Structure 1
Amino acid sequence: MLSGIGGFSGVAKNFQLNEKHSIESKIIYKNEISQPDTVEHKFNEVLGYKVDEDGYFTSEFNEAAGIPKDYKIHSDTLKSLVNVNTNSGILKADFKNIDIAKTVGNAYKILSQVVGEDVLNSKESFNKEDLAKFPQGYEYDNKTLKVLKLHSKISDYMGADSSFQRNERTSITTTFYNSSTIGYYSEHKSLKPSTDILNSNSGGKEDINSGMYFDTTKDKYTGKDGNITKGGLLVGILNKNSHAIEGATTYHGKINGLDKNISSQEYQAKIKAFTDLHGHKYDKYSQSLVDSLPQDLKDFVDFARSLKFVGEINVSDDGKESKSLFEIMQEDMKEAQKRLEKLTRQEKRTQKMLDKNRKYDKEIEQNTRKNLEELEAMMKFNAKSVDIKA
């Protein structure tokens, strides 16, 4: 989902080939499975929580997340989610670390509002027919995750999405991954409700270079009958809504509006005030200055220095910086907003054209049916005339 606040991600994409040369602040991927100290321990631990012999988190985790005990989450799923969102490099990683209990709790908060607890409590797993009956999209508050509006059908969602005014406060998304919405306007696809909810643009597998696609471990939530467990529904929410992920954000995560404590605009204003005071020669900042900064500004300085290292900040022939990082960021975001507005206008025009064509096709169908009926009546009349003459 393209958004103005996420426009700066375009800058990061330009540096993917240079990342191995940049100064990266890699977060150690700790919290792997730790073996018990003694044989008395019944459970292993993953990401700080106990797991059973099959790798599913125990009721201890469910209690910490604030979710019912019958929602089973597999540790491999969250290991992949953490890995993709924290270890994809300084130019793409949105988080330094992730609170997996709060994250899964956020997913349940969304799911229970969209689907309803009565429906969720009505059975242990859900088939494709059940999933197709779920609301297909929703609008929500980015920070509180309060669902503001539901869209029952996927066509309703697409109509709302085409005119939705994206901002830092609210977003719109499909409830689960839905491949039929991809290329709907350009390829004239038929819209279908979400049923393959643990799939993704990476086939449901981990793509660490994307900084977003984790391994949904579909087999851990799919029964022999093909039904999806309740835990799978939560993973389906996380698979589509990055605002549900909660933890300590990086510079990139704050710019993308994923921090629950500061908005992207507030963060940008804070950076501008800082650079107006101290200048844009980030590599010339004294260590004492950097050490005195709050963590969010330290993150900015680290990010800015890494860009300078790979030559992304333009320097003129006389050695002076021609554009600051903030100016580059602002220009990129404005350009992304223009592209978004242009795309929205194109989608609206395409939708009107499709609606007009559908109306025209319907008229042709009605006229054809009418002509066939008249022809059939004429043939019957002629047949009667022949019988009379005979």
Structure 2
Amino acid sequence: MSIFSINDNSNYGSILSQSKANKESKENSKISFANAFLKQNASKLNEIQSANSQTLARSEALNSTNTTNTSNNTNFSISSKTSSPNYDISSEFKNSIYTLKYKQVDLSTDTAYGYSVDKDGYMGSDFNKAAGLPEDFKIHKSTLDEIKKAAENDPVVSSTKEYLGVSEYYTNIDMAETIKQYYNLFSNALGQSFPNDKTSFSEADINSMPKGYAINGIKSMDFNDPSNRMNITHLRDFSNSSITNIYQTPEQMKEAESLYIQSGSLIDGINGHSFGLSLEEIKNVSKGEDWQFNPDMSVYPQNEDGSYSKEALFMSFLKSYGSGQPVESSETTLNPKVEAYNRAMAKESFNGDSIALNDIMTGKVDFASLLKGYAQDGWLDADIYAMEKGVAWQNTSIGYGGAWFDNQFNQAKANGWKASNQSIDSYVNSIMDRLNNLLGQTRV
């Protein structure tokens, strides 16, 4: 006789009976729960279904053919079980769960990021209202997806996620507030050249625009203020920022950059930003590394006359200035492990020195005295030495002449060179003259 034979048929039958009874009990328990759920939520389901005459939610859920019984659309009961290995309950119950979870706002549209999306994939009027956009301004859902992608794949963010062993940096991104803050800044810049109601821009329009803009009023990390949430999120707040200076020429842009460097990087907000509002940038807005913000521009096509829409210019702005990164908002939240890590790092951080350009222009800060003190402490020695030797500043990558100048300066320091009071005064006066001249030409 085989060792696998079963001699005690009565015991075997008992085991089968018990197993069958257990299974039926489990199924009946699920059905009881389903009936209780449907009864409890009947009024809510009827409210949703009445707004959905074509039963869109039900057909989107499972399109099941399982039989169900309903009575007066208020008392639901389960009369048959599905063959699903995961849900031994009716499709009516599953449809109802789907309806309650996903279809409570507007059954005629899809949703994304908490807002409606139309049949072509553009965000609905509720999003435009929350983001402060004109009613006819069209933002495609794919753009918001791209913002999320860029935010999660930023190199610093990626390194942090890898270090902490987490898959997501953000648990939520406030897309409406992000678009709102960027759009207000974009509209401010565009309004310096065109009427606010202009919606299409020819190549001639774009080529006529300034080469750059200076921004003030940006809030960001401030480690002198432990309550500053941006010390943890590492995001920026543009809600009170504005254009303070317009650089019409490349020479003005270069002078602003030079003054920033030669003042010891003390002037916060003097650097110019193109905002992506150049023809070359607009034409290449979809190009970039995989992790970068590369919006799909097929959803913002050129007009028949070859002009560009306002939306297309905004995409270029987002890529150039915001890099698709979220802005500070209480609704933008971090992974708890990331937040704990950033909070610990904030306690070990400190601020660098910088003065807002607007505070210099309004006289709130005596920048000449501040700059002189900075020079007396030795922070501007290389700049003063370059002035004495007639070496011109070139750009941020070369500085005053690269390795050659560094060798000359370091050798002079080793031989006892030190900036004299006369040289310091001359240098500070030169910077202030150039700064006042630039601000006089470019101030809004």
* TM-score, reference length from structure 2: 0.42
Q: Which has the larger radius of gyration?
A: 2
Q: Which has the higher contact order (CA 8 A, sep 6+)?
A: 1
